[in-house]
Amino acid sequence: NYSKNVSSLKDFFFGGLETLYTFLTTSLPRYKILEEEQQKMLDQTVLTLKRLSDTRWASRKHATDAVIQSLPAIQEALDRIRVHRDSSPKAASEADGLLKKVRTFEFTLMLTSWNTLLKKIFALSNYLQQESLDVNTAVQLIDACMLQITELWSQEVFVAMENMARRFGDTV
């Protein structure tokens, strides 16, 4: 039962990221608004939101990285789209729903938690793809990664991620 709950939370979160990506990138006017907000907030560095892939965990890591780095700009863009005179009622409603979602503590906690986990898996994956890697080193790397992932379940690490999500939420 616990694994079903975790799986449905994962699907709900990553489904939300996919919806956010699709909403902001499939319309040139909406994408331009996002770019303008990113340029204002990110010192001219425009980050591209990433599409998720069902088969590559790396795409999920890249997607969470992009959202973490540009969440304030994403929120401002959604707010502008929500009230923009040229937005259709449907687009305004979708922007409002997405804005409410990305402003929740649950969203920022899931974002920071998944990003922390995916960074560890991504690093391991990159090491395991090296041609010169021998089996003994691979086993050691896997064991070390599993230990790091297990440590994410500690109360201390959870409280640290919870605090990070709260601070992250306070800044956006």
Q: What does the pLDDT look like over 113-166, one tens digit per residue?
A: 888 888 888 888 888 888 898 898 889 989 998 988 888 788 888 888 888 888
Tell me which of 154 and 48 has the higher pLDDT. 154
pLDDT at 7 over 70: no
The answer to whether 76 and 34 have CB atoms below 8 angstroms apart is: no
pLDDT at 47 over 70: no
Alpha helices for 57-130 (secondary structure H):
57-83, 89-102, 105-128
The predicted pLDDT at position 57 comes to 73
Of 38, 36, 30, which is closest to residue 86 (Cα–Cα)? 30
Tokens standing for residue 66: 């992009």
The mean pLDDT value for 69-90 works out to: 92
How does pLDDT run across 61-70, given as a tens digit for each residue? 888 888 888 8
Those residues with Cβ within 8 angstroms of residue 151's Cβ, 6 or more apart along the chain or in another chain: 157
Local confidence band at 81 (pLDDT 50, 70, 90 cut-offs): very high
Tell me which of 161 and 79 has the higher pLDDT. 79
